[in-house]
Structure 1
């Protein structure tokens, strides 16, 4: 039983964190640590009670990451090629391709170190594995909790449904990505209206340099053309970023109703980071996601994780620096 104490402790911290505020990255870390310690405890128990099952579990624990890493690298490269074909060669569209190539590069470095029996290459490869392992753990925590967060129910009715903008096609037209958000926002509105508490729908988005009108106006026009009641729409037309979407929308909602509650709508890959930002900007509400094309999800998720990773850069880059220094000290004392 003692072996499960760390898992129980971190799960308790996770549960308390979710009860206090679902929109914390610490919840993702606590859940990841709880699952990790639970697996280690389970494998240890199997090894003590059933030697054969314990050996199988250990072999699986060693083999699955290796096979899984190769499969993941191939998947990311294939997805990256598809992203480039469908979305163009913008840097953001190259993330999954670069991630896959980076994984193969680390594996190639380790193989070269073993074949050449080079201590220097082994240290460099080991350090690279440590860095990849740390980032991968955080990424899995991010993806796992983002998946869970996207399925948590909205606790109560809301006064506003806030739909975040995402850019226009040709400066005037709502693209499919944004249309998906608007349709999800309409669905949330209709579900609440059916319960007798119809909220206001707030479209949020300013005018970019290549746009002929503010995004919020194009979003409102899209909804009105499809039968949404114009008198239930509020427009926030100054924002240029997600953080500004939330800050300016909050100002509108607070001015009208200081004790407002809201539901924020964005795409599913963006929902958890938007929730973290909603907490930072003190917006009172839950964030829900709309469907996104499957091929778009990997690169978009990597981009969202990178933004969250850098938002905690002091801790994360500090840990990475310690791993690099540890590798250097090991090489120096060879």
Structure 2
């Protein structure tokens, strides 16, 4: 009963946070805390009832642990190998492989701790598990809230559509960027059908291995799909997501535009782009475009790592306090 009541408090903070501003990282944390309390409530209710209820919940919890400990890391390692084959050897493409190996490492550490008990071993292994649990909690919370954020909010009524750039293949638009442009075109045509003539801002500078700027290649892509040239605005200086948003908003301001804007990126990138837009004080919604399934694990891990860097002190202090409390209780 107490866990069910306790879940109400973070749930209220979550609802209020979403109403005030959907782009807050805190919303993801409150969602995660709510789900943890609900899970604890479910487990205690099952143990109280006993019988088949306890058996079903117990086996379900065991299946969850086995999935997290063995199925998930195996799938991540397989995805990492696939990423290397299809996308080439780059640090970003190693993330799912490394994550899978790290989970197996945590499982091994837990097994080692159960076989070699002692104050020092318990303190060290326990600290490792606490950090792993904290990171896992944040990852699941941010992943779930990213899905929630991408599923709610306005879908029409935009006066400008900003398409965020991504890497080119020489001077060609790759599938990842094409999906963003196609979603931008879809939004543009829907607004035209309703009587609006929104601007389409294409944002992206030129990388060292690119023959033209991303914005120029994106403009050509739009022209080949019958988007009027006078409605396309080029922003060809940005090299980061923050610059994409900031420079695009500045171009719209310089044109005297003051309507409602939406930025388009891939679905895995939506929430981080929204967090950046909030930090820049931009009234801009973010909408996601589909992404190839095999690309998602590494992409979400990369976005998660980037979101962690937004509050490094908070995460470091929190982990430090949790580990310190565990060490004191273990070694006293």
For 1:2 and 1:120, locate their aligned partners in 2 and report how far apart those are by CA, in whole Å: 34
For 1:32 and 1:107, locate their aligned partners in 2 and report how far apart those are by CA, in whole Å: 23
Instruction: State the Cα RMSD in Å.
Output: 2.0
For 1:30 and 1:327, locate their aligned partners in 2 and report how far apart those are by CA, in whole Å: 24
Q: Which moved more, 1:201-210 or 1:180-189?
A: 201-210
Displacement of 1:51 in angstroms is 5.3
For 1:252 and 1:4, locate their aligned partners in 2 and report how far apart those are by CA, in whole Å: 50
Contact 2:120 2:331 in 1 (8 A): no
SS at match of 2:161: strand
Match of 1:241 in 2: 240
Displacement of 1:256 in angstroms is 2.7
What aligned pairs does 1:27-66 form with structure 2 within 5 A after superposition? 27-50=27-50, 52-54=52-54, 56-58=56-58, 60-62=60-62, 64-66=64-66
Match of 2:84 in 1: 84
Superposed CA deviations along residues 289-325 of structure 1, whole A, max 9, x for unmatched, are 1111111110010000011012111111112222343
Structure 2 residue runs of 5 or longer lacking an equivalent are none
SS at match of 1:311: coil
Match of 2:282 in 1: 283
Superposed CA deviations along residues 68-89 of structure 1, whole A, max 9, x for unmatched, are 3211110111111111111122
Contact 2:156 2:187 in 1 (8 A): no
For 2:227 and 2:106, locate their aligned partners in 1 and report how far apart those are by CA, in whole Å: 53
For 2:17 and 2:127, locate their aligned partners in 1 and report how far apart those are by CA, in whole Å: 33
TM-score (norm 2): 0.93
Displacement of 1:134 in angstroms is 0.6
What aligned pairs does 1:157-236 form with structure 2 within 5 A after superposition? 157-170=157-170, 172-236=171-235
Q: Which moved more, 1:257-266 or 1:184-193?
A: 257-266
Structure 1 residue runs of 5 or longer lacking an equivalent are none
Contact 1:160 1:200 in 2 (8 A): yes
Match of 1:114 in 2: 114
Superposed CA deviations along residues 188-246 of structure 1, whole A, max 9, x for unmatched, are 11112211122111001112233332211110111101222212111111111110011
Q: Which moved more, 1:37-46 or 1:77-86?
A: 37-46
Contact 1:269 1:300 in 2 (8 A): yes
SS at match of 1:266: strand
For 1:328 and 1:74, locate their aligned partners in 2 and report how far apart those are by CA, in whole Å: 31
For 1:180 and 1:3, locate their aligned partners in 2 and report how far apart those are by CA, in whole Å: 43
**Residues 136 and 44 of structure 1, relative CA distance in 2, 3 Å threshold:** same
Contact 2:46 2:54 in 1 (8 A): yes
For 2:4 and 2:329, locate their aligned partners in 1 and report how far apart those are by CA, in whole Å: 33
For 2:67 and 2:162, locate their aligned partners in 1 and report how far apart those are by CA, in whole Å: 43
Displacement of 1:154 in angstroms is 1.4
Displacement of 1:185 in angstroms is 0.4
User: Post-superposition, which runs of at least 4 consecutive aligned residues in structure 1 deviate over 4 A?
Assistant: none
Displacement of 1:58 in angstroms is 4.5
